[in-house]
């Protein structure tokens, strides 16, 4: 157990619990449905796999870690932030939540880099990575992520306060130990660096396509849409918690004795965790926009269940095909006219 004297401006956040309990309950229901369908499509509907498919499957695995651990957090919040499952399982639960966050961020970044290389550097050797090599890369990333987050097992994260057992990995300490310094460092760096990489990939793709005047190409537009979806998912899910955590730290160091200012900041931080766990709900959008094979399999599967009409999809495809035919005819006519003057 943690010594209460080591804590800074400690409070039981019952108001935040009242909000998070129902919000996370809705998120887990939608997330289970979306990722359950995704697993079904990946293993039973997709005949041909690519390296990018492996990275998307890793996002599903990361979401499953959340699905397993989130019910215990929901129970914790329904009890007004009171953990009843003991110290060891508190560490396991927080480890799985940390793995979900880190793995989701890392594999979203990998998918963005994969899109960037295919569009901006189509002849780069990384585009020739085999499926087996992609599996090895994914396994290596998972091993690194486990090592990065295993520090939660080296310190106690459960403490008693006002008849509540509080299980938190982002509690505020008067003085951080080595494990918590590493934990906080990962929390901030895993947002800043990947976001910079994702934005770099997105802006470079858009700039290159405009220079080549290829931004009207349907395949190219899908690639840009995929990256924009990744950026939006990243910002919605991970930036609010980062901003709230940074604000809480700044208040602590600028006004070290002002708990009245610090407490609302920590409540905003814990409340913003609802956005972090929202990634399991939004990740299926990433699968659809970044993998055309997944999207086709999804629409066919939903159509077979009577949940989707392929008629509108076919009409949309027909209209795109007709537009392309008209453009080709126009270009051919212009080419013939030029030749006639030669």
- In angstroms, the Cα distances linking 150 to 32, 99, 191 are 26, 9, 19
168 and 273 Cβ atoms separated by less than 8 Å: no
38 has a pLDDT exceeding 90: no
Is 289 within the bounds of a domain? Answer: yes
- CATH code, domain with 31: 1.20.1070.10
Is 324 within the bounds of a domain? Answer: no
Report pLDDT for 44: 79
Report pLDDT for 338: 42
Report pLDDT for 120: 79
Report pLDDT for 29: 92
In degrees, rounded to 5, the angle at the alpha carbon of residue 222 between the alpha carbons of residues 231 and 293 is 105
Is 260 within the bounds of a domain? Answer: yes
Report pLDDT for 8: 77
**Terminus-to-terminus CA distance in the chain, angstroms?**
88
Pairing mode, strands 164-167 and 158-161: antiparallel
Greater pLDDT, 47 or 169: 169
99 and 145 Cβ atoms separated by less than 8 Å: yes
Query: Which of 17-26, 36-45, 76-85 is predicted least confidently?
Result: 36-45
Mean pLDDT of the chain: 82
Greater pLDDT, 132 or 223: 132
Is 56 within the bounds of a domain? Answer: yes
Structural domain for 215, as ranges:
4-312
Report pLDDT for 216: 60
Q: How confident is the model at residue 258 (pLDDT cuts 50, 70, 90)?
A: confident
Nearest CA among 279, 283, 285 for reference residue 101? 279
Q: Residue-wise over 47-58: b if at least 16 C-beta within 10 A, else e?
A: eeebbbbbbbbb
Q: How many CB atoms neighbour CB 320 within 10 A? A: 11
Greater pLDDT, 336 or 323: 336
93 has a pLDDT exceeding 90: yes
Q: How many CB atoms neighbour CB 113 within 10 A? A: 17
Is 134 within the bounds of a domain? Answer: yes
Report pLDDT for 300: 72
Report pLDDT for 72: 94
- Tens of pLDDT, residues 288-314: 777 777 777 777 766 765 655 545 445
Task: For residue 331, give the 3-state DSSP assignment.
Answer: helix
Task: Give kind and range of the element (H or E) at residue 168.
Answer: none
Is 38 within the bounds of a domain? Answer: yes
316 has a pLDDT exceeding 50: no
In degrees, rounded to 5, the angle at the alpha carbon of residue 168 between the alpha carbons of residues 28 and 1 is 135
214 has a pLDDT exceeding 80: no
**Which class for 298: exposed (0-12), middle (13-18), buried (19 or more C-beta within 10 A)?**
buried
Structure tokens at 230: 């990744």
Report pLDDT for 319: 44
Report, as an integer, the average pLDDT of 64-73.
Answer: 90
Is 40 within the bounds of a domain? Answer: yes
Report pLDDT for 1: 57
Task: For residue 243, give the 3-state DSSP assignment.
Answer: helix
Report pLDDT for 323: 43
Report pLDDT for 3: 64
Structure tokens at 40: 């079904």
Partners of 35 in the beta sheet?
Answer: none
Is 22 within the bounds of a domain? Answer: yes
Report pLDDT for 337: 45
Number of domains observed in the structure of the chain: 1
């Amino acid at each position: 157990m943690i010594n209460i004297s080591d804590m800074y401006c400690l409070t039981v956040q019952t108001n935040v619990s009242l909000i998070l309990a129902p919000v996370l309950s809705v998120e887990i229901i939608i997330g289970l449905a979306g990722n359950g369908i995704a697993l079904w499509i990946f293993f039973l509907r997709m005949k041909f796999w690519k390296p990018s498919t492996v990275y998307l499957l890793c996002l599903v695995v990361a979401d499953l870690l959340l699905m397993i651990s989130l019910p215990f957090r929901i129970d914790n919040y329904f009890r007004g932030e009171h953990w009843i499952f003991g110290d060891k399982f508190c560490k396991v639960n927080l480890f799985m939540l940390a793995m979900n966050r880190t793995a989701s961020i890392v594999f979203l970044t990998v998918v963005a880099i994969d899109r960037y290389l295919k569009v901006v550097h189509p002849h780069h050797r990384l585009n020739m990575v085999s499926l087996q090599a992609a599996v090895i890369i994914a396994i290596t990333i998972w091993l690194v992520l486990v090592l990065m987050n295993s520090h939660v097992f080296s310190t106690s994260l459960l403490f008693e306060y006002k008849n509540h057992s509080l299980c938190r990995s982002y509690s505020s300490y008067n003085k951080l130990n080595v494990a918590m310094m590493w934990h906080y460092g990962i929390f901030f760096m895993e947002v800043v660096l990947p976001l910079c990489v994702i934005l770099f990939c997105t802006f470079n793709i858009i700039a290159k396509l405009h220079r080549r005047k290829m931004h009207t190409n349907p395949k190219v537009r899908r690639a840009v849409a995929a990256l924009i979806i990744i950026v939006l998912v990243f910002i919605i899910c991970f930036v609010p918690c980062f901003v709230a955590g940074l604000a809480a730290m700044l208040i602590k160091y600028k006004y070290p004795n002002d708990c009245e200012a610090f407490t609302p900041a920590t409540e905003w931080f814990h409340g913003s965790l609802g956005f972090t766990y929202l990634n399991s709900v939004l990740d299926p959008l990433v699968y659809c926009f970044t993998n055309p094979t997944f999207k086709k399999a999804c629409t066919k599967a939903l159509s077979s269940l009577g949940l989707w009409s392929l008629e509108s999809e076919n009409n949309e495809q027909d209209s795109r095909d007709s537009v392309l035919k008209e453009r080709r005819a126009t270009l051919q006519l212009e080419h013939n006219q030029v030749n006639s003057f030669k």
